[in-house]
Amino acid sequence: MFVVIKRVFRTAWQGLTRNSWLSFTCIAMLTISLIILSSIFIFNSASNELINVLKEKMDISIYFQRNVPEEDILRIRDDLIGNEKIAKIEYISQEEALKIFEEKSSRNPAIKKALEELGENPLAASLNIKAKDTKYYTEIIDEVNNSAFKDKLITIDLMENQRVVERIDALSTGIKLGSILVILIAAFLSVLISFNTIRMAIYSLKGEIEIMKLVGASNWFIRGPFLLEGAIQGIIASCVAILILIPLVMWGSPRIGSFISEISISLYFWSYFWYILLYQTLFGVFLGIVSSFWAMNKYLKV
């Protein structure tokens, strides 16, 4: 068994090195396929993360009239926390609101001066509500509007307005569906490119395969080195692809980041580096083996 494995490895290595141009072409095509797939995968994951960040930022603030006592507000909070659509409620007192406001406008002396001239805290206490899902925000607003404490409110403020909520939801679904479609199309195209390149390479070796059959070699004796060659090509292509992706991510990440600050391709890339390398290598090996296997069968029927 060991002798057979050794022979398969030796023959595969000979095939790779002696048909160097064919090997180069196959590796180049596999590399392109893997870069396309990995780029889409990274971009898709990063955009999903962007949606999560945006969703995380959303909340509803309900502002209470200044004469509503703190106990009442806290009671309302306790009532609301029981609502299954609500994930978290944060109470911001008038003092805290003022502190936050002062911190935010510390660089603006005019606002600071205006506050001093007013002599009292003009801000209202509020409850910041985070829903379990963005789709619940409109329902929560409706419920608050129809609640018994409606009269105690000054205003209900959805930090991102309703339309934005709907847009983000639509965008999120769109991106998910779109990316599945793009991944499927890209996967199909890259498999097609790789498969056809390997098929052409094996076509050019069909004479050799036929000779091997005529000399009495079994199908698996012939296949073994070719499949291993495909697998080695997949591994090399994966290494080359990652070496190309690194500078590509380093170059592209700050540029994308300058448009959408919440998205960091490079952060995502480096956090999932080994995962990306692993899946890319496995896919490369799979492509190499399956394409070789498929392409060879035709010529093994001598």
Instruction: Enumerate binding residues for other proteins (CB under 8 A).
Output: 3, 7, 14-15, 18-19, 207-208, 210-219, 221, 302
- Measured from the CB atom, the residue of 14 and 261 that comes closer to other proteins is 14
- Measured from the CB atom, the residue of 161 and 218 that comes closer to other proteins is 218
CB of 13 to other proteins, least distance (A): 12
- CB of 210 closer than 8 Å to CB of 273: no
- Measured from the CB atom, the residue of 110 and 214 that comes closer to other proteins is 214
CB of 251 to other proteins, least distance (A): 40
**Residue 290 tokens, joined:** 């399956």
Nearest alpha carbon to residue 161 among 132, 137, 193, 179 = 137
> First-to-last CA distance in the chain?
26
Nearest alpha carbon to residue 88 among 66, 56, 63 = 56
What gap in Å lies between CA 201 and CA 265, rounded to an integer?
36
- Measured from the CB atom, the residue of 40 and 200 that comes closer to other proteins is 200
CB of 208 to other proteins, least distance (A): 5
- Within a 13 Å sphere around the CA of 230, how many CA atoms are in the beta-carbon half? 27
- Measured from the CB atom, the residue of 72 and 208 that comes closer to other proteins is 208
CB of 25 to other proteins, least distance (A): 16
CB of 254 to other proteins, least distance (A): 47
- CB of 88 closer than 8 Å to CB of 98: no
